[in-house]
Structure 1
Amino acid sequence: MTTLETMMAESSPIPAGTIRIADLPGAQQDLVRSSLRDRTPLHALLDIQMVEIGDRHAILSMPVRAESFNSTGNLHGGALATLIDVAAGAAAARGSGFQPGRQSLVTADLHVRYLGRPHGDMVYARADVLKAGRQLIVVECRVTDREDRIVASADFSMMIVALRRPLDPDAPVNTTDPDL
Structure 2
Amino acid sequence: MDNSEPASLIEMVGFNKALGFRLVEWSEAHAVLEATARPDLLNRSDILHGGVVATLIDAAGGFAGAYTGEFSSGRLVLTLSLTTSFIGQASNGVVRAIARKRGGGRRIFASTIEVTDATGQIIAVGEGTYRYRE
Normalised-by-shorter TM-score class: 0.7 to 0.9
Distance 1:94 1:158, change over 3 A: same
* Percent pairwise identity: 28
Larger Rg: 1
Equivalent residue of 2:56, what SS?
helix
| 1:139 aligned onto 2:127 | no
For CA contacts below 8 A with separation 6 or more, give which structure has more relative contact order.
2
Q: In structure 2, how many angstroms separate the alpha carbons of the residues matched to 1:77 and 1:143?
A: 12
Q: Letter of the aligned partner of 1:145 in structure 2?
A: D
Shift in Å, 1:157: 0.7
Q: Letter of the aligned partner of 1:68 in structure 2?
A: L
| 1:77 aligned onto 2:33 | no
Equivalent residue in structure 1 for 2:122, among 111, 135, 150: 150
- Do the aligned partners of 1:46 and 1:67 also contact (CA within 8 Å) in 2? no
Normalising by structure 2, we get a TM-score of: 0.82
Shift in Å, 1:65: 1.3
Q: Letter of the aligned partner of 1:150 in structure 2?
A: I
Partner of 1:87: 60
| 1:47 aligned onto 2:20 | yes
Partner of 2:3: none
Q: Any stretches of 5+ residues in structure 1 without a counterpart?
A: 1-21, 23-28, 163-180
CA offsets, 1:60-113, max 9 Å, x none? 101011221123322111000111111111111127xxxx79x85210010000
Give the helix-richer structure, 1 or 2. 1
Distance 1:157 1:133, change over 3 A: same
Partner of 2:38: 65
Normalising by structure 1, we get a TM-score of: 0.62
Shift in Å, 1:161: 4.0
Q: Letter of the aligned partner of 1:108 in structure 2?
A: L
Give the strand-richer structure, 1 or 2. 2
User: Where does structure 1 differ by over 4 angstroms across 4 or more consecutive aligned residues?
Assistant: none
Q: In structure 1, how many angstroms separate the alpha carbons of the residues matched to 2:45 and 2:92?
A: 17
Distance 1:56 1:120, change over 3 A: same
- Do the aligned partners of 1:119 and 1:146 also contact (CA within 8 Å) in 2? no
Q: Any stretches of 5+ residues in structure 2 without a counterpart?
A: 1-5
Partner of 1:9: none
Equivalent residue in structure 1 for 2:94, among 122, 134, 142: 122
CA offsets, 1:9-34, max 9 Å, x none? xxxxxxxxxxxxx6xxxxxx57x34x
